[in-house]
Amino acid sequence: MTDLSVRLAALILLGVALCAAQPRGRILGGSEAKPHQRPYMASVQVNGTHVCGGFLVAEQWVLSAAHCLEDVSRPNETVTVLLGAHSLSQPELSKRRYNVSRAVLHPGSRPETIDHDLLLLQLSENATLGPAVTLLPWQHEDREVAAGTRCDVAGWGIVSHTGRRPDRLQYVVLPVMDRATCNQRIYHDGTITERMMCAESHRRDSCKGDSGGPLVCNGVAEGVVTSGSRVCGNRKKPGIYTRVGSYAAWIDSVMDGGAVSEGAPEGQGHPEQ
Tell which wins on pLDDT, 233 or 124.
124
Q: How would residue 160 be classed by pLDDT, with cut points 50, 70 and 90? A: low
pLDDT value of position 95? 97
pTM of the predicted protein model: 0.83
Domains of the chain: total? 2
Sorted by sequence, the CB contacts under 8 Å of residue 27 that are 6+ apart come out as: 153, 154, 155, 157, 159, 170, 171, 172, 204, 205, 206, 207, 210
Out of 43, 109, 201, 211, the active site residue is: 211
Residues 78 and 98 placed together within one structural domain of the fold: yes
**Kind plus residue range of the DSSP H or E element containing 152:** strand 150-155
pLDDT value of position 141? 97
Domain range enclosing 261: 41-135+249-271
Residues 59 and 117 placed together within one structural domain of the fold: yes
The verdict on whether 161 is a catalytic residue reads no
The verdict on whether 67 is a catalytic residue reads yes
pLDDT value of position 76? 74
Out of 117, 152, 205, 210, the active site residue is: 117
Residues 180 and 263 placed together within one structural domain of the fold: no
pLDDT value of position 150? 97
pLDDT value of position 261? 41
The verdict on whether 36 is a catalytic residue reads no
* pLDDT greater than 90 at residue 267: no
pLDDT value of position 165? 77
Is 142 among the domain residues? Answer: yes
Q: What is the pLDDT of residues 202-211, one digit of tens each?
A: 655 566 678 9
